[in-house]
């Protein structure tokens, strides 16, 4: 009975849906996290009677036909890149991007990773780095005798040093944008990698056309909406239960058929 396989595909699809939702909920407090959504596609159809087929010698045609679907499959799990709410932290090295763009991070492999997580710190050499010690790119080094650090909306990093009144420029933060942000590959640790689907990175200065501005002393909160996720979880659970009910019904029908005596 085809209904068994169709319902089983539905249960597998809703299991994937729940896994995506659970990852969103788990990352509700992850800085710069972007929620994901699962999309599904129907499977191939069995044409019992094809629409448009000639149904008589007089040239009449079948208006609708008979097609029986084979179930559902996962089409994509895409990333929703809408802006998260800026949260004030008071840390001079924390930065949120108000608008489009990603911070560039130099990975141990030499590759460039991209992130919206601006919870940054300085290492023992004064370089601005991530929680894992990966350096911001282009590199920015804060002098040891700096008494104040200012990061402008355009990404200009200036410090006031002991014994000086005029600020000194020590670096310029640059952002990267992509034509297809959903095509970036997530590798964990709040990092993304460029792929053929995302297109090449477009590098620019914060605040310039097409690039967001830097907010010093803020981080971007996750864009996960807890109410929406719980609602989606309930819908997925009910869909899973209904598909399991179809399997039970199909099994009962097969059982009745097996008990028929000639």
Same domain for 152 and 138, yes or no, is yes
Q: 33-54 burial by CB neighbour count: b if 16+ within 10 A, else e? A: bbbbebebeeeeeeeeeeeeee
Q: What is the pLDDT of residue 258?
A: 81
Q: pLDDT by residue for the chain (262 residues), tens digit each? A: 788 999 999 999 999 999 999 999 999 999 999 999 999 999 888 888 788 788 777 878 888 888 888 899 999 999 999 999 999 998 999 999 999 999 999 999 999 999 999 999 999 999 999 999 999 999 999 999 899 999 999 999 999 988 888 899 999 999 999 999 999 999 999 999 999 999 999 999 999 999 999 999 999 999 999 999 999 999 999 999 999 999 999 888 888 888 876 5
Same domain for 60 and 13, yes or no, is yes
Q: What is the pLDDT of residue 18?
A: 97
Same domain for 238 and 216, yes or no, is no
Residue 136 belongs to domain spanning: 86-220
Same domain for 47 and 122, yes or no, is no
Q: What is the pLDDT of residue 60?
A: 83
191 contacts 163 by C-beta, under 8 angstroms: no
């Amino acid at each position: 009975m085809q209904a068994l396989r169709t319902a089983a595909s539905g249960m597998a699809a809703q299991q994937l849906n729940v896994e995506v939702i659970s990852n969103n909920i788990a990352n509700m407090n992850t800085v710069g996290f972007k929620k994901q959504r699962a999309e599904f596609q129907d499977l191939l159809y069995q044409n019992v009677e094809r629409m448009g087929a000639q149904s008589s010698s007089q040239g009449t045609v079948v208006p609708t036909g008979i097609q029986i679907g084979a179930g559902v499959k996962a089409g994509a799990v895409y990333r929703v890149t809408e802006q998260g709410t800026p949260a004030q932290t008071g840390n001079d090295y924390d930065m949120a991007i108000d608008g489009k763009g990603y911070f560039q991070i130099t990975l141990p492999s030499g590759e460039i990773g991209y992130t919206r997580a601006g919870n940054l710190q300085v290492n023992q050499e004064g370089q601005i780095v991530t929680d894992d010690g990966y350096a911001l790119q282009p590199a920015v080094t804060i002098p040891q005798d700096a008494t104040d650090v200012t990061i402008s909306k355009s990404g200009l990093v200036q410090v006031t040093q002991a014994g000086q009144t005029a600020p000194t420029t020590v670096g310029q933060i640059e952002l990267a944008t992509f034509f297809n942000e959903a095509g970036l590959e997530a590798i964990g640790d709040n990092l993304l990698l460029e792929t053929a689907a995302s297109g090449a990175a477009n590098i620019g200065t914060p605040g310039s056309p097409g690039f967001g501005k830097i907010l010093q002393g803020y981080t971007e909160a996750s864009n996960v909406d807890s109410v929406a996720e719980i609602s989606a979880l309930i819908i997925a659970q009910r869909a899973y239960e209904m598909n399991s009910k179809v399997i039970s019904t199909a099994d009962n029908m097969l059982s009745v058929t097996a008990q028929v005596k000639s």
